Amino acid sequence: MPTKSLRIIVAARKLLNSYGRGRIPTPLDSICEALRIRVQNTPDEKPSFERGSWNTPTGIQMGFIANIPDNADRLIRRHMLAHLIGHIYLGQGSCDYQEKTQGELQAIAFATELLMPSQDMRHYISIRPPFEKEEAAVIELAEIFDVHPRAMRARYREIRKGMQLQ
């Protein structure tokens, strides 16, 4: 499936290895700094990004402006930012948030791997109590990875399924 293509997963992993330094929760701030992405609030309902420049103490910085809806919940904002980082890092021109285009599906897959890296997910799942209820695991893992429980639930099921097939 192109949306889960290895290329996208590898790209997210490469970015994590370069700037995330294996830390959980994924430090989006450091990644934005490294990629010269500036986060800005927007009254729009959907996130977007554009090329831009801004003043810093050492001069004008060229980069990208990530516009994140200001009325969104903190964890939703975090997901939106990871999603925009995906577009920018993959060299895509714009975000058509919640459309089912290939670019959007790739940004979603990228954000999933960035926020809930498969290697770390497998590690954290493998050290949990064997007969633990799913919801307890989902809530705690959502806190560890600093993501929305709904996103973690889907990711948890996906990773668990993959682990059982091995």
Interface residues with Zn ion (CB under 5 A) are 95, 97, 104, 107
Question: Cβ of residue 16: shortest distance to Zn ion, in angstroms?
Answer: 19
CB of 60 vs Zn ion, minimal distance in Å? 27
Q: Quote the least distance from Cβ 68 to Zn ion, whole Å.
A: 12
Give the type of residue at 70.
D
* Minimal distance, residue 47 CB to Zn ion, in Å: 7
Outline where the chain has alpha helix (H): 6-15, 28-34, 74-89, 102-115, 118-126, 134-145, 149-165
Nearer to Zn ion, 24 or 107 (CB): 107
Separation CA 71–CA 45 (nearest Å): 8
Residue closest to Zn ion (Cβ): 95
Please say which residue, 95 or 114, places its beta carbon nearer to Zn ion.
95
Nearer to Zn ion, 4 or 122 (CB): 4
Nearer to Zn ion, 104 or 113 (CB): 104
Cα 42 to Cα 47: distance, rounded to the nearest angstrom: 8
**Nearest of 31, 13, 19, 38 to residue 114 by alpha carbon:** 13
